Amino acid sequence: MTEPAELPQLRTTDQHAEGALDIPDGVQVLEGSPEGGRRGIAVVVARFNGEITSRLLTGALEELDRAGVAREAVTVVPVPGAFELPLAALALAKTRRYSCIVALGCVIRGETAHFEFVAGEAASGLQLAAIETGVPVSFGVLTTESAEQAEARLDKGAEAARTALEMADLFSQLRASAAQAR
């Protein structure tokens, strides 16, 4: 009988996002940290459902404070609604002034198909803005059935800020790693 192969030692990574990965030793890992430092951050926020989005914005700004982002390094850009978030995020990302963009909005299902159009276009448009520019854009858009569900998910503003910072740091490390490889 042969002995079973020894499994590689695994290390666990556990950031703010739900879930953890077991990564075997011996591989290079690039992982961002949700810390601010001297990064310029843009927050684009929908005015529609302002009673919810204002609180998402407060949560995001408090999280950026905790992460060490100076208030003067943060630019807040209000837009009419969630449908307009992608266009503003794309314009902000194209300026190259910001390490990341935090997009905040709230779409609550109504009695028409409007919800599906707005929520879907906001999601795909924000992803496209990030892909086209290479600037991380985090998705802090609530898509709920009711205002009560939106109220229960107000931590999404802080989560979106942490995600944006983590991705900005990861991209910074990736660029530094690529420059060293030359």
Domains identified in the chain and CATH numbers: 41-181 (3.40.50.960)
Q: Which is higher by pLDDT, 118 or 138?
A: 138
The model scores a pTM over 0.85:
no
DSSP state at residue 39: -
* Least confident span in 70-74, 115-119, 130-134: 115-119
Strand order of the sheet with strand 100-108? 74-79, 41-46, 100-108, 137-144
Mean pLDDT, residues 126-134 = 97
Q: What is the pLDDT of residues 4-34, one digit of tens each?
A: 444 344 344 445 556 677 777 876 766 776 7
Q: Which residues are designated catalytic?
A: 114
Going 15 to 21 to 26 to 28, the CA torsion angle's sign is negative
Alpha carbon 169 to chain centroid distance? Answer: 12
Per-residue model confidence (pLDDT) at position 32: 72
Distances (CA, A) of 110 to 18, 116, 117, 146, 154: 29, 10, 12, 9, 20
Mean pLDDT, residues 138-160 = 97
Per-residue model confidence (pLDDT) at position 171: 93
Q: Are 134 and 89 in contact (CB under 8 A)?
A: no
Per-residue model confidence (pLDDT) at position 178: 79
Q: Which is higher by pLDDT, 47 or 110?
A: 47
Going 50 to 51 to 54 to 56, the CA torsion angle's sign is negative
Q: What are the structure tokens assigned to 46, written together?
A: 């929908």
Per-residue model confidence (pLDDT) at position 114: 78
**Residue 54 confidence class, pLDDT cut points 50, 70, 90:** very high
Mean pLDDT, residues 142-150 = 95
Per-residue model confidence (pLDDT) at position 26: 76
Q: Are 150 and 16 in contact (CB under 8 A)?
A: no
Per-residue model confidence (pLDDT) at position 63: 97
Q: Which is higher by pLDDT, 45 or 26?
A: 45
